[in-house]
Structure 1
Amino acid sequence: MDNISRRGLLTGAGAILAAGSLGAPTAVARPVRTDALTPTKRFKMSATTNEFFRSKPLWGPTVMQSFAFDTPNNRLFTGQLRSGTVENSGDLTLSQLSFSGTVLGHMYLTGFGHAVSIGAEAVGGTTYIWTETDADTTNGRGRQIARFPWQNGATLTKDSASLKKWKPVSNGSVFTPAVDQRYGRLGVRYSLSDGMHINVYSLAAARAGDFSTVLESFKQPALTAGVDFQGWTLYGSYAYFWEGEAYPGAPDETKANSKLWCYDINAGKIVDSFLTLAGKSLTYREAEGMAVYGSTDATARLYFGFASGVTGDRRANLFYRNDLV
């Protein structure tokens, strides 16, 4: 990201201050969880790094904030802040890319948020995108989540007819979604007065607007103090987190702080983490976005992204792990 720091707003004690500034009450909503998620395999954080593509311009071209795969239809989408808009407007650009990183299309989303995380869901040959929406102009973050069909070249506002939107947690703020396509779940990350939390729902129920049953609910664990949170995703009974900051200029791996984290939802604890030097030769190299591709363990890949390049010519870079344990 270029202009807005996520530090403090999204983790730790800073999240308390951010939530308070948004008017979140001091009482914390505690959704009732159902049975634990069926245990699954997890991605190994220290596994071999594979490069997907490097130094690809997006539509804009602004910094990639997040990305998502529509696995059944083999489609890739990225979320970005829209070029030329005012700070905290919540105006976004979505790009559709080929798997070689070529731009195939775009959409504009007016007043939606910051695109810390987006999701994609296949319904036949149509891709539905999940994002935040209804941006709070004091911080540029979404106050609800939304679902809508991909429409190349379209511009949506928070009141567009094709948009469905919800506030799953009544006293929450700073919402972002993540879609677990294989296991049919939707994750919703949100801020309360004591920090960031994540609820897990049935994807089928969520797309029908039913958030009454929470499959799991947990507070996001503490990650590295003073390092920006840059993305998250779900796969089975695990949540994954991504953090890191840009190099201050030319490549310098001694300043690298991009780290992958794996959280066991059922056990309620971090079970793996790894400081990665993937893309260490990139100029700027800011961790941005995380998503899973794959419909089986054999095809599953945990992707993590970096922004690179210079101001006015930012580029997207994707790497992945595919070892499950």
Structure 2
Amino acid sequence: MDSLSRRGLLTGAGALVAAGTFGVPVATARTLTLPTSKRFKMSATTNEFFRSQPLHDATVMQSFAFDTPNNRLFAAQLKAGSGANSGDLALTQLDFAGNELGYMYLTGFGHAVSIGTEAAGSTTYLWTETDVDTASGRGRQLCRFPWQNGKTLTSASVTKWKPVPGGSVFTPAVDQRFGQLGLRYSLSDGMHINVYSLAAARAGDFSTVLATFKQPALTAGIDFQGWTLYGAYAYFWEGEAYPGAPDETQATSKLWCYDINAGQLVDSFLTLAGKSLTYREPEGMAVYGSTDATARLYFGFASGVTGDRRANLFYRNTLV
């Protein structure tokens, strides 16, 4: 990101907590244990997907997501020319070589630290934050809407939910493989994550929380740059931008894996992927794949100079 630090949105220890403790509405029975799944190995071989591709606007990519069934990729960024806290976003649809296929604008939504996608037949639905708090530039509610190339949506034009009444700074992650929606949100004691049934969430039902935990502390003083969900594991992405090509002592880009059922961090890796990129700011995480054999954990970087930022994607595909 160019001007807005995410420091201070990330505190706390990684312990499972009972839903309802922080105002989460729980109307039906639930469990804090998710079905067992494999996890991505953080130190596995890095694969390059594409690099130095322009998005619709020339600002820093903030996040991205795949519609796996329809083989579509979408990236989010702040809209060029809008204020840092305006909540105005640009969405770009890309092919898998990183070429632009279309765009949308979202007015008054948020910062897009994370977005999610969901296929409904041949239609792609986007999950994002909305109802921006202009003091922070972050969304206070959650929304879902269909991709409509060339359209501009306002926050008032979409259906909104506030799944956690006392929460704010909402960012979603859609786990298409396991049919889950993850929601990251802020409370007075730090960041938390809830997991819901995707089918229930799309109907506006957030009454059953499948799992909930306080986000663990990662590296002190390093910006949080994205997260995603796959099965029983949450993945976090952090790091700082730097000018020019670094040596290893400058690297801060780190991948983390959190075991939701065990309530602890289980893997991490400091990556030098894309180390020759200019600027190289970690931005966004997402999973592609409908089976373990096809699953890939993607992590992104923004690169380039002010006024000509570019998107870069890399991935891991080793599950253990």
Residue 156 of structure 2 aligns to a residue whose secondary structure is: coil
* TM-superposed deviation, 1:28: 3.3
Is 1:274 the counterpart of 2:269 in the alignment? yes
Is 1:286 the counterpart of 2:281 in the alignment? yes
Give the structure-1-normalised TM-score. Answer: 0.93
The residue identity in structure 1 corresponding to 2:275 is K
Q: Is the 8 A contact 1:28 1:194 kept in 2?
A: no
Name the counterpart of 1:119: 116
Q: Number of aligned residue pairs: give it.
A: 308
Q: Is the 8 A contact 1:302 1:320 kept in 2?
A: yes
Name the counterpart of 2:227: 232
* TM-superposed deviation, 1:213: 0.1
* TM-superposed deviation, 1:115: 0.3
Name the counterpart of 2:107: 110
Q: Where does 1:210-229 land on structure 2 (aligned, <5 Å)? A: 210-229=205-224
The residue identity in structure 2 corresponding to 1:70 is D
The residue identity in structure 2 corresponding to 1:199 is N
Q: Where does 1:157-196 land on structure 2 (aligned, <5 Å)? A: 157-160=154-157, 163-196=158-191
Measured in 1, the distance between the counterparts of 2:84 and 2:68 equals: 33
Contiguous gaps of at least 5 residues in structure 2: 13-20
Name the counterpart of 2:5: 5
Q: Is the 8 A contact 2:70 2:119 kept in 1?
A: yes
Alignment CA distance shift 1:88-1:222 (3 Å): same
Is 1:260 the counterpart of 2:259 in the alignment? no
Name the counterpart of 2:245: 251
The residue identity in structure 1 corresponding to 2:272 is L
Residue of 63, 69, 89 corresponding to 1:72:
69
The residue identity in structure 1 corresponding to 2:5 is S
Measured in 1, the distance between the counterparts of 2:84 and 2:177 equals: 36
The residue identity in structure 2 corresponding to 1:41 is K
Is 1:136 the counterpart of 2:133 in the alignment? yes
The residue identity in structure 1 corresponding to 2:123 is T
Residue of 197, 204, 208 corresponding to 1:202:
197
* TM-superposed deviation, 1:31: 6.2
Contiguous gaps of at least 5 residues in structure 1: 14-26
Residue 273 of structure 2 aligns to a residue whose secondary structure is: coil
The residue identity in structure 1 corresponding to 2:50 is F
* TM-superposed deviation, 1:112: 0.1
Residue 205 of structure 1 aligns to a residue whose secondary structure is: helix
Give the structure-2-normalised TM-score. Answer: 0.95
* TM-superposed deviation, 1:228: 0.1
The residue identity in structure 2 corresponding to 1:3 is S
Measured in 2, the distance between the counterparts of 1:250 and 1:77 equals: 27
* TM-superposed deviation, 1:3: 1.2
Q: Is the 8 A contact 2:65 2:74 kept in 1?
A: yes
C-alpha RMSD of the superposition: 1.1
Q: Which moved more, 1:115-124 or 1:251-260?
A: 251-260
Which digits, 9 at most, give the CA deviation of each residue in 1:220-247, with x for residues without a partner?
0000000000000000000000000001
Q: Where does 1:10-159 land on structure 2 (aligned, <5 Å)? A: 10-12=9-11, 28-29=22-23, 33-159=30-156
Residue of 237, 240, 243 corresponding to 1:242:
237
Which digits, 9 at most, give the CA deviation of each residue in 1:61-91, with x for residues without a partner?
2110000000000000001000001120000
Name the counterpart of 2:18: none
* Aligned structure 1 segments of 4 or more residues deviating by more than 2 angstroms: 27-33
Name the counterpart of 1:18: none
The residue identity in structure 2 corresponding to 1:319 is F
Measured in 1, the distance between the counterparts of 2:146 and 2:22 equals: 33
Residue 133 of structure 1 aligns to a residue whose secondary structure is: strand
Which digits, 9 at most, give the CA deviation of each residue in 1:245-299, with x for residues without a partner?
001x211132110000000000000000000000000000000000000000000
Q: Is the 8 A contact 2:237 2:255 kept in 1?
A: yes
Residue 159 of structure 1 aligns to a residue whose secondary structure is: helix
* TM-superposed deviation, 1:126: 0.1
Which digits, 9 at most, give the CA deviation of each residue in 1:93-121, with x for residues without a partner?
00000000000000000000000000000
Name the counterpart of 1:305: 300
Q: Is the 8 A contact 2:78 2:84 kept in 1?
A: no
Measured in 1, the distance between the counterparts of 2:73 and 2:119 equals: 12
